[in-house]
Amino acid sequence: MSGALPAQLEELVADFTAVPQEDKLELLLDFSRSLPALPDRLGEHPEELEQVVECQSPLFLTVEWEEGAVPGPGAPVRLFFSAPAEAPTTRGFASILHEGLDGLPAQEVLDVPDDLPERFGLTQLVSPLRMRGMSAMLARIKRRVRELQDD
């Protein structure tokens, strides 16, 4: 899979590939700091926390239709994430996906290639094991978008 990316996502990939290796972690850290907080109405949702076999951090994510949008493949979706401060890498991945996907039409989110995480040039730095966290997040975002469409 090597499909084209939505412009706002492509821009992020370009940002990451442009910075030298030694500054990439710093950039990821910036992203982890800029992850927007959950709106109050979504609260903490502890029951929604899904955790990979011990080794990864709890992450809450949900996807909703843009307020007022008529549900359909062309309707924009909004993404919400929450991850604890002691999991900055998870927060960083969530923040990248938030910035790259939030507000896109549902179909465009579903069309994002599954090899997206490999395109940021982080694998060597962060380790393949850790990068799986981002793949998993993307898979769950897509699953939630499909669930929205089925509702």
Partner 1 sequence: MGVAVENNEDFAQYAHPERLVSTQWVAEHRDDPGVVVVESDEDVLLYETGHVPGAVKIDWHTDLNRPDTRDYVDAEEFAELMARKGISRDTTIVVYGDKSNWWAAYALWVFELFGHPDVRLMNGGRDKWVAEGRELSTEKVVPERADYPVVERDDTPIRAYQEDVLAHLGEQPLIDVRSLPEYTGERTHMPDYPQEGTLRGGHIPTAASVPWARAAAEDATFRSREELEAIYRDEVGLSDDDDIIAYCRIGERSSHTWFVLKHLLGFERVRNYDGSWTEWGNSVRVPIVLGEEPGEVPGSAR
Residues of this chain, 49-88, that bind partner 1 according to CB under 8 A: 50-55, 57, 85-88
Query: Of these, 72, 143, 146, 147, which contacts partner 1 (CB under 8 A)?
Result: 143
Q: Is residue 125 at the binding interface for partner 1, with CB under 8 A as the rule?
A: yes
Q: How far is the CB of 57 from partner 1 (least distance, A)?
A: 7
The first and second tokens of residue 39, run together, are 């709106």
What is the 8-class DSSP label of residue 56? S
**Dist. CA 115–CA 113, nearest whole Å:** 5
C-alpha closest to that of 96 among 38, 40, 16: 16
Q: Is residue 38 at the binding interface for partner 1, with CB under 8 A as the rule?
A: no
DSSP 87-151: -HHHHHHHHHHHHHHTT-BHHHHHHS-TTGGGGGS-HHHH-HHHHHHHHHHHHHHHHHHHHHHH-
Stretch that binds partner 1, among 36-44, 64-72, 102-110, 121-129 (CB under 8 A): 121-129
Number of residues counted as binding partner 1 (CB under 8 A): 31
Q: Is residue 17 at the binding interface for partner 1, with CB under 8 A as the rule?
A: no
Whether the CB-CB separation of 96 and 125 falls below 8 Å is answered with no
Q: How far is the CB of 127 from partner 1 (least distance, A)?
A: 4
Q: Is residue 89 at the binding interface for partner 1, with CB under 8 A as the rule?
A: yes
Closer to partner 1 by CB, 104 or 137: give it. Answer: 137
User: φ, ψ for residue 61 (rounded to 5)?
Assistant: -145, 150
**Dist. CA 95–CA 13, nearest whole Å:** 13
Q: Is residue 1 at the binding interface for partner 1, with CB under 8 A as the rule?
A: no
Binding site for partner 1 (CB under 8 A): 25-26, 28-29, 32, 50-55, 57, 85-90, 92, 124-127, 129-130, 132, 135-136, 139-140, 143
